Amino acid sequence: MFADAAVTLIWQEPISALYAQLRQESLGVDLRALDRAKPSPAAAQALARLHEERRRIAYLAGALERRAKSGSAVGRIRIPSIGASFVVVKGTGTSELENGPGIYPETRFPGSGGTTAIAGHRTTYLAPFRHIDELRRGQRIVLEMPYARFTYTVLGSRVVLPTDVSVIRPTGYSRLVLSACTPLFSASHRLVVFAKLSSTVPLGAARSTQAPSNGMPAGGRAQGEQEGLPAMLKASQRLLPPLVS
């Protein structure tokens, strides 16, 4: 663990990087326990009535979203093209983002439909999103939750003001939005990456006990949907986290 931490300290702010490394190790243990956890009796009863894997995933996504505490481990994000792999937490407050990338509380957990937005630092606390500016159209981003593995395909990116929260609002399809401060060492703007859900693989309790289906829809285009970057809506005054780089 300390050998891995030493590598990251070469090009990052050392104190915050070491703290985040230790927190990620601890959160990784929590996430593995979450992956192994059995549904509660009430959840097991509810799942017994849901035979479609899509509905089972949606149920488990909503249950975890309601149950998880701010700052707790809820999943893992993997971005193969930039070599990123980090435990994701619930929330985007200052303390939450010191632990790792965090899901915006204003957006949904993956599997619930709509937009899942995740914020992360670029120069401090292991800088999980330091290289998201290198992501290009067609590259993959994977979100591994205890109930399913979601693969997203990058559509593009945009730089916006911190007040432009329209970029995390729902669209007509399931998508992932990544945000981080830009330029490096500044919080003047936000770099936002948009990705569309392309596949879903149920895990754990989300797997159906019925005969295998012909496949579940994942990221299919909604009626009247046009693929591409979402249209910009009127910005509100709330700031997009993180507030420090």
DSSP string for 60-127: HHHHHHHHPPTT-EEEEEEEGGGTEEEEEEE--SHHHHHHS-EE-TTSPPTTSSSEEEEE--SSSTT-
* Per-residue CA distances from 171 to 65, 107, 221 (Å): 20, 11, 11
Give the CATH fold of the 2-206 domain: Sortase; Chain: A; (2.40.260)
pLDDT digits (tens, 9 = 90+) for 13-39: 789 999 999 999 999 999 999 999 999
Residues 6+ apart with CB under 8 A from 19: 98, 125
User: How far apart are the C-alpha atoms of 104 and 126, rounded to whole Å?
Assistant: 19
pLDDT digits (tens, 9 = 90+) for 69-128: 999 999 999 999 999 999 999 999 999 999 999 999 999 999 999 999 999 999 999 999
Q: How many CB atoms lie within 10 A of CB 13?
A: 17
Under a CB-based contact definition with an 8 Å cutoff, are residues 144 and 84 in contact?
Answer: no
The residue-averaged pLDDT of 182-199 equals 96
User: In the chain, what are the domain boundaries?
Assistant: 2-206
User: How far apart are the C-alpha atoms of 152 and 29, rounded to whole Å?
Assistant: 25
- Residue 99: Cβ-neighbour burial (10 angstroms; 0-12, 13-18, 19+): buried
Residue 228's pLDDT is what? 44
User: How far apart are the C-alpha atoms of 54 and 61, rounded to whole Å?
Assistant: 11
Residue 241's pLDDT is what? 79
pLDDT digits (tens, 9 = 90+) for 128-182: 999 999 999 999 999 999 999 999 999 999 999 999 999 999 999 999 999 999 9
Q: Model pTM?
A: 0.84
Q: Any idea what DSSP says for residue 51?
A: -
Return the closest-CA partner of residue 230 out of 162, 146, 164. 164
Under a CB-based contact definition with an 8 Å cutoff, are residues 13 and 123 in contact?
Answer: yes
* Per-residue CA distances from 23 to 26, 67, 96 (Å): 5, 21, 11
